[in-house]
Chain A
Amino acid sequence: MVVKGLLYTKDHEWAKVEGDRATIGITDHAQDQLGELTFVELPEAGKEVKQKGELAVVESSKAASDVYSPVAGKVTEVNTQLASKPEMINDDCYGAGWICKMQITDKATTKNLMDAGQYEEYLKGL
């Protein structure tokens, strides 16, 4: 499932950009590939990351995966509920399973992300 209005990376993160703020998560394809998530290592609020910089780690019994930042920015808020309920990402990856919110420091970094249609095409080619 791909949601319209979000921006996507080739590494299967999504970003919902509103002005100079963004909400970040992983896509349905990503959660489906990982299977039941058992652990999420969340970033600390205030952390500054470059685009494609390491933001979080999600782990299932099958694999550990890095979550890279879709944009350059500073973490303003994290979804602390994921610490005890990582399965929220499996259940609702575009909603309740968001990972963090960011203040975008370089707006140009949103330009090289895919829109929903492009991401859907990208998934077909995998």
Chain B
Amino acid sequence: MAEKKGEGVFVFEPAFANATAGEPARQKPVGSVLYSEHLKLTDKSHIAEFAGYLMPLWYSSISAEHSAVRQRAGVFDCTHMGELEVSGKEAEPFLNAVTTNDVSLLKIGAAQYSYVLDAAGNVLDDIIVYRRGGERFMVVVNAANEPKIKVYLAAIQAGKAAIDLAKPERRIKLASVRDMRDTRTGQDSRVDIALQGPASIEVLCKLTDAPSVSRQIKDLKSFMFVEARLAGIDSIISRTGYTGAKMCFELFVHPDKAARLWQLLLDAGGVPCGLGARDSLRVEAGLPLYGHELAGPYNITPFEAGYGWAVKLKKEFFIGKKAVEKIAKSFEMKVARMELSGEKGIRPVRQQDAVIKDGECIGWVLSSAFASSFADAMEDRYATADRSATAGNRQIALSYVEKDKATEGDSVGVYYLARSESQKSKGKKEIVKRGERLEADIVGKIVSRFEKF
């Protein structure tokens, strides 16, 4: 048995697809802040390196943890995610120049999805910007991209990164940038633990006796947050997540308090979930992963990914604006969500497999996952009986396809690329180009770009 690099395992590799020279070398993987908690719950063999951290892939099974989030509440170690603090008088203009969304629209207690581009318009990361005060922001970045973003922001501050290709002399006024996970940040340090799923509000409210805090939590709308104490722990309680769950929270607490909060969430009924379910849930929901549905080998833009709204071209300036203005108007590919059969014994579709429509390749699979059928999920949501979770009976794939050839409801299929010598010897192709005529191995259909739960 040999795990093949670049297939399957790619999901858990740092999405460092756009690595360029001069990026900091990655160090030996370290246990996440919650590493010893994971070892209490699962065998070492279920722990793998992800973005330089040793993280759990699953505790019980991917399908059981996936179902726990759809039906009850799941708890995720997200302490590997990067949190940067941007503060000072110039914080808002600085962030408005560095990110694509409009920071001036952000009220205190609100968050927004956004992008960091380079001057050539390449996506360096997708991020969430939280406004904690008039001049104080928290920026959550992808674990795999954190070293790159820190280097990039430092280069901008030092005047060493190109900001405007047309005006090389252009500079941005400086703001203070701190790594919130750095121990030197002291009491302001924060790491992320996610609590996701319909029961997450009940789980969370068990952690506070203060009616005012419960009220604040219950009143939180999507992409809003409050700063309050949970079981005596100073927390940023945010209604955000990466699972598509309507009821979802991310809790940002001091690293020294993370293990205690983790245990309290499990005691209150949260089900520990690993990276496997984190990936299958976000694929099912249609959410992009940097390096797969954004940037990556196809250099996918926010417009193609379905997030053009987070790139505010009306803003006077942001880094990369000139470059993306052109592509915003004309692009021929897009990210589409597909549903395929996923019974046991059906071969999983994988990254780079060809998407076939009317006997012709119109694009490629970017990510895929097994998930229980939507009908089951609906039924379970209203069922009182606790049904045991079984492996999914459908596959959801996110694919990169010709924009005009994939409308919701269209029949499409997938051609499996050769994954072994014997498949190659039977004539299976290893690469398929757009426009090539091929018969699909498995049929399915284009479904809505996102699914809500």
Contacts and interface: CB of A to CB of B under 8 A. Distances in A.
Interface string A23-62: 0001001101101101111010000000000100111111
A58 B4 CA distance: 11
B1 interface: yes
Interface in B62-96: 62-63
B276 A62 contact: yes
B160 to A, nearest CB: 40
Contacts of A29: 45
B345 A84 contact: yes
B380 to A, nearest CB: 19
B345 A83 contact: yes
Given A59-B8, A60-B8, A62-B9, A87 B391 contact: yes
Contacts of B391: 36, 38, 87
Contacts of B61: 35-36
B7 interface: yes
A12 B348 CA distance: 22
A52 B277 CA distance: 33
Given A39-B348, A57-B419, A62 B62 contact: yes
Nearest to A65: B1
B63 A66 contact: no
B1 A67 contact: yes
B2 interface: yes
Interface residues of B, number: 34
A85 interface: yes
Contact of A61 (B46, B276, B422): B276
B326 interface: no
A39 B8 contact: no
Interface string B387-401: 000010000000000
A12 B344 contact: no
A66 B12 CA distance: 19
A62 B391 CA distance: 13
A85 B46 CA distance: 23
Contact of B63 (A36, A57, A63, A86): A36
Contact of A62 (B43, B57, B342, B420): B57
Contacts of A67: 1
A98 interface: no
Contact of A65 (B4, B342, B348): B4
B421 A54 contact: yes
A96 interface: no
20 contacts: A26-B1, A35-B61, A35-B276, A38-B348, A39-B345, A43-B422, A57-B420, A59-B8, A59-B347, A59-B348, A62-B8, A62-B57, A62-B62, A63-B7, A64-B348, A65-B2, A68-B1, A85-B344, A86-B344, A86-B345
Given A36-B62, A38-B345, A85-B345, 8 more contacts: A35-B62, A36-B391, A38-B344, A38-B346, A38-B347, A38-B348, A61-B62, A66-B2
